[in-house]
Amino acid sequence: MKKIITSKNAPAPIGPYSHAVQVNNMLFVSGQVGKNPHTGELMLGNVKTETRQVMENIKGILTDAGMDFTHVVKTTIFLADMNDFASVNEVYGSYFTGDYPARETVQVSKLPLGVNVEISVIAVL
C-alpha cells in the first residue's frame, strides 16, 4: 500500500505530483527546488543559499514522514551548471554525518522555475 506524504514544510507541488510517496518502509521524495515554503520566494541569488533551501525542504518532508537524513539511501542531484558542483556538494554534505547515501549528480539543460539545483531522495525506515 502507498501513503501520500504532504508537507507544509516544503513548497506546494507545481504539477500533478506528491511531495513524497511511502510504500511499506521506503519513502520516495520528489525533486525539491530552492523555494521557501512559507513565503513562496525562490532563493536564486546564491547557489549555496538555494541548495540550503532545497535541503531544508527535503528535511521537512522527511520529518513529516517520521524520518531524517540518516534514513536517506539514494539521492539524485540535477544541476543547471556543473561548475556549481563544489558549492552544492559542500552544503549537501553538511546534512549528512557519515554513512553517505548512494548518489549521482548530472547537469541538465534546464530546471523548473529557472532554478540552479533540484534534488530528490529515497529513504528507508
How much is the pTM? 0.96
- Nearest CA to 119 out of 58, 72, 65 is that of 58
- Specify whether the CB–CB gap between 65 and 5 falls below 8 A: yes
pLDDT tens digits along 62-93? 999 999 999 999 999 999 999 999 999 999 99
Residue type, 91: V
Q: Which domains does the chain have, with CATH numbers?
A: 2-124 (3.30.1330.40)
- Nearest CA to 68 out of 29, 118, 107, 16 is that of 29
pLDDT tens digits along 2-18? 999 999 999 999 899 99
The helix (run of H) or strand (run of E) holding residue 60 is: helix 47-64
Q: What's the confidence (pLDDT) of residue 98?
A: 86
pLDDT tens digits along 20-66? 999 999 999 999 999 999 999 999 989 999 999 999 999 999 999 99
- CB within 8 Å of 39: residues ≥ 6 apart: none
